[in-house]
Chains A and B, each alone.
Chain A
Amino acid sequence: MFEEAALEIEIAAHGPVRTRVRASGSWTFEGLKTRRNDLARRLAELEREPPERIAWDLTGIAQLDDSGAVWLARALRSAQRVEASPRLRILLNQAGEALQLPGAKRRPPDPLSIPVQIGEMALEFGRHLRDAAIRLGLIAIRAAELLRRPRDFPFRELSAGVFRSGVTALPVTMLVGFLVGIVLTYLSALQLKRYGADLLVINIVGVGVVRELGPMLASIIAAGRSGSAITAQLGVMRVTEEIEALSVMGISINARLVLPKVISLAIALPLVTFCTDLAALGGALLVSKITLGISPGAFLEALPRAVEVVNFWIGIGKSAVFGFAVAFVACHFGLRVLPNTESLASGVTRSVVAAITTVIVLDAAFAILLRNVG
């Protein structure tokens, strides 16, 4: 098929041209493969001699491709005595010119790059806040308009959204709630047993689940499930120009896409939270019976006394706000996706992280605002 690339070097004792080089065989990627190191070493040796003192005979080359041409051109440099066919010369000249082109210069590291990056991140964060505030305002305006003409409200999207982010989320959210209820009760029971305060487990787990853990678990799972789905959906709609097609038709993106999503999650999440509360308390009931010997009847009887009902309403109210926030953050990031795959991937990731962070920040705000309640 092909001969290996070969290089013969003759060194004359005297005369203006001391070195005669004869190259033959296949100077191709394949042909250079087997004796690669040997050829590279010998060509490098030739490069040490002044180019005008070497005579090249390249007529024996059967095949030459770009990698062979680059090797030869690097060794040839400005050699004048070159015997080669015209076709070979063209390839060698191209390779020689390409070798002269400067490579991409690596920029020296900027000593201020870290503060610059922090500053840029702060500016980016500010832009996000500004855009989110604008979108929130637009949603409020569209919602007010739809209140006057409720028939225009996209009810089908709303009910589909409640089903998708509510009903289908129940199995996983309730399972997680059940397990967290078990773990929390078990750990509390171990400690409380030592002080003989067994019955306090109902207070601790009851308030913890109903007021904090239920809403948090439900919204974190909603951020991962529904939030990522919303961002990906809007992002793909951007990539396929469906968002543009809606805008061009004079359809408000905020009214048609964002509003039903935020409202449906704000409706669905309290319902999911309620079921998560039930599952977690079920887990607590089970472990209380096993580790502390509190009968289910006694547990259920003590629960309303231990946990004021206002805690439940705080939990439900918080999850409505969290649901709105998760869907809003997801829409915000989804609509910022640029029409390329990289932007879609990073948009979804950032959306989930930002949604969870927002939920935790809001939760802290609620904790401070409602510290004297319940």
Chain B
Amino acid sequence: MSDSGDAQVIEIEGLLNTVGAGHVLHRDLALKVRRDEVLALVGGSGSGKSQLLRVMLGLKQPQAGTVRVFGVSWSDPKWKRVRDARRRMGMLFQNGALYSALSVYENVAFPLRERGGLPEDEIRAIVHSKLAQVELDPSRGALLPANLSGGMVKRVALARALALSPELLILDEPTAGLDPDRTTRFVQLIKRLREEQRFAVVMVTHDLHPLYELTDRVAVLAEQHIIACDTIPAVRRMGHPFIQNFFGPERRRAADAG
């Protein structure tokens, strides 16, 4: 890859994104995600965090502006370039989005098999190591997603997202639906995996706990664009009402208690 030396993994510029009958969600939005950093995307309900994530993932075509991931635009006519860029990123959906017809093992093996070029015994070794990395017993591999608890679904989905050893991991509400104890463990898990594997992380979250534990920078989405993108202390010094409210003393205390 010629662009592997670039400092940015995601570059968004001049983004115009509408939903429905022309309701503008993002206007003139710019965001850069650096290699090896953890960036959290926060914003109020309805501010379009999930839609921004969809645009980032290339699941939605914006009206205007450029979105480049690893220097590749999702609308690149060479679909192999797009596919190769996709293989360098992993995505953890909020509800896991595991393939419900496939077992845990097959879910994690799926991206490896699709990429091709690996014999089955090597795939098995990788799948078992990925399951162990997310603290799942490989003997659970035969279970179907319907038989897993919410926390296990998240961990299997994380193992699948990490299957191709991505350079960028995108997390949509990684701790939503987990109890405080599991939240802590999941955050520690991501922290440890990141120290081992050095991937960049973009995550959407409402939860202050992963924010303080994991993130290098926070991007605040409000008023149709990114109003701030900096370290947590720098962002907290800003006077914007959403920021004051989001990082307010009460929520901070709740996060510490949690």
Q: Which positions in A face B, CB cutoff 8 Å?
A: 151-152, 236, 240-242, 244-245, 247-252, 256
- Bound-state Cα–Cα, A247 to B89, Å: 12
Pick from A151, A248, A256: contact of B86, CB below 8 A: A248
Find out whether the CB atom of B99 lies under 8 angstroms from the CB atom of A242. yes
Q: Does B141 contact A (CB under 8 A)?
A: no
State whether A245 and B91 are in contact (beta carbons under 8 Å apart), knowing that A250-B86, A252-B79 are contacts in the complex. yes
Pick from A236, A244, A256: contact of B93, CB below 8 A: A244
With A245-B98, A250-B83 known, 16 other A-B pairs at CB within 8 A are A241-B93, A242-B98, A242-B99, A244-B57, A247-B59, A248-B58, A249-B86, A249-B87, A249-B91, A249-B110, A249-B111, A249-B114, A250-B82, A250-B85, A251-B114, A252-B79
Q: Which residues of A contact B99 (CB under 8 A)?
A: 242, 245
Pick from B58, B83, B97, B114: contact of A242, CB below 8 A: B97
Find out whether the CB atom of B97 lies under 8 angstroms from the CB atom of A245. yes
Number of contact residues on B: which range applies? 20 to 34
Q: Which residues of B contact A240 (CB under 8 A)?
A: 95, 97, 100
Find out whether the CB atom of A245 lies under 8 angstroms from the CB atom of B114. no
Find out whether the CB atom of B97 lies under 8 angstroms from the CB atom of A244. yes
State whether A247 and B58 are in contact (beta carbons under 8 Å apart), knowing that A240-B95, A241-B95, A252-B79 are contacts in the complex. yes
Q: Which residues of A contact B249 (CB under 8 A)?
A: none
**In this complex, what residue of B is CB-closest to A248?**
B91
Q: Which residues of B contact A251 (CB under 8 A)?
A: 114
> Which of B58, B83, B91, B97 gathers the greatest number of chain A CB atoms within 10 Å?
B97
Find out whether the CB atom of B93 lies under 8 angstroms from the CB atom of A245. yes
Q: Which residues of B contact A247 (CB under 8 A)?
A: 57-59
Q: Which positions in B face A, CB cutoff 8 Å?
A: 57-59, 79, 82-87, 89, 91, 93, 95, 97-100, 110-111, 114, 116
| Distance of A247 from chain B, by nearest CB (Å) | 6
Pick from A152, A244, A252, A256: contact of B59, CB below 8 A: A244
State whether A248 and B57 are in contact (beta carbons under 8 Å apart), knowing that A240-B95, A241-B95, A241-B97 are contacts in the complex. yes
- Bound-state Cα–Cα, A76 to B196, Å: 71
- Bound-state Cα–Cα, A97 to B79, Å: 59
| Distance of B191 from chain A, by nearest CB (Å) | 23
Q: Which residues of A contact B97 (CB under 8 A)?
A: 240-242, 244-245
A-B contact list, 24 entries, CB within 8 Å: A152-B116, A236-B100, A240-B97, A241-B93, A241-B95, A241-B97, A242-B97, A242-B100, A244-B93, A244-B97, A245-B98, A247-B59, A248-B59, A248-B89, A248-B91, A249-B91, A249-B111, A249-B114, A250-B82, A250-B83, A250-B84, A250-B85, A250-B87, A252-B79
| Distance of A187 from chain B, by nearest CB (Å) | 45
Q: Which residues of A contact B59 (CB under 8 A)?
A: 244, 247-248
Q: Which residues of A contact B87 (CB under 8 A)?
A: 249-250
- Bound-state Cα–Cα, A110 to B216, Å: 56
- Bound-state Cα–Cα, A262 to B162, Å: 32
- Bound-state Cα–Cα, A241 to B110, Å: 16
| Distance of A337 from chain B, by nearest CB (Å) | 15
- Bound-state Cα–Cα, A163 to B84, Å: 34
**In this complex, what residue of A is CB-closest to B95?**
A241
- Bound-state Cα–Cα, A35 to B59, Å: 60
- Bound-state Cα–Cα, A241 to B114, Å: 18
Q: Which residues of A contact B82 (CB under 8 A)?
A: 250
- Bound-state Cα–Cα, A244 to B59, Å: 7
Q: Which residues of B contact A244 (CB under 8 A)?
A: 57, 59, 93, 97
| Distance of B224 from chain A, by nearest CB (Å) | 24
**In this complex, what residue of B is CB-closest to A249?**
B111
- Bound-state Cα–Cα, A244 to B55, Å: 12
**In this complex, what residue of B is CB-closest to A142?**
B79
**In this complex, what residue of A is CB-closest to B172?**
A241
Q: Which residues of A contact B95 (CB under 8 A)?
A: 240-241
**In this complex, what residue of B is CB-closest to A236?**
B100
| Distance of B204 from chain A, by nearest CB (Å) | 14
- Bound-state Cα–Cα, A251 to B84, Å: 10
**In this complex, what residue of A is CB-closest to B79?**
A252
- Bound-state Cα–Cα, A152 to B113, Å: 10
Q: Which residues of A contact B84 (CB under 8 A)?
A: 250
- Bound-state Cα–Cα, A152 to B59, Å: 24
**In this complex, what residue of A is CB-closest to B102?**
A242
Query: Top 5 A-B pairs ranked by shortest CB distance?
Result: A250-B86, A241-B97, A250-B83, A245-B97, A248-B91
| Distance of A58 from chain B, by nearest CB (Å) | 39
- Bound-state Cα–Cα, A247 to B60, Å: 11
Q: Which residues of B contact A250 (CB under 8 A)?
A: 82-87
| Distance of B110 from chain A, by nearest CB (Å) | 8
- Bound-state Cα–Cα, A151 to B117, Å: 11
| Distance of A128 from chain B, by nearest CB (Å) | 19
> Which of A236, A242, A248, A256 gathers the greatest number of chain B CB atoms within 10 Å?
A248
**In this complex, what residue of B is CB-closest to A247?**
B59
| Distance of A289 from chain B, by nearest CB (Å) | 48
**In this complex, what residue of A is CB-closest to B163?**
A249
**In this complex, what residue of A is CB-closest to B91?**
A248
Q: Which residues of B contact A242 (CB under 8 A)?
A: 97-100
| Distance of A278 from chain B, by nearest CB (Å) | 34
**In this complex, what residue of B is CB-closest to A245?**
B97
Q: Which residues of A contact B110 (CB under 8 A)?
A: 249
- Bound-state Cα–Cα, A218 to B152, Å: 44
- Bound-state Cα–Cα, A244 to B82, Å: 15
Q: Which residues of A contact B58 (CB under 8 A)?
A: 247-248
Q: Which residues of A contact B83 (CB under 8 A)?
A: 250
- Bound-state Cα–Cα, A250 to B82, Å: 7
Q: Which residues of A contact B91 (CB under 8 A)?
A: 245, 248-249
- Bound-state Cα–Cα, A245 to B116, Å: 18
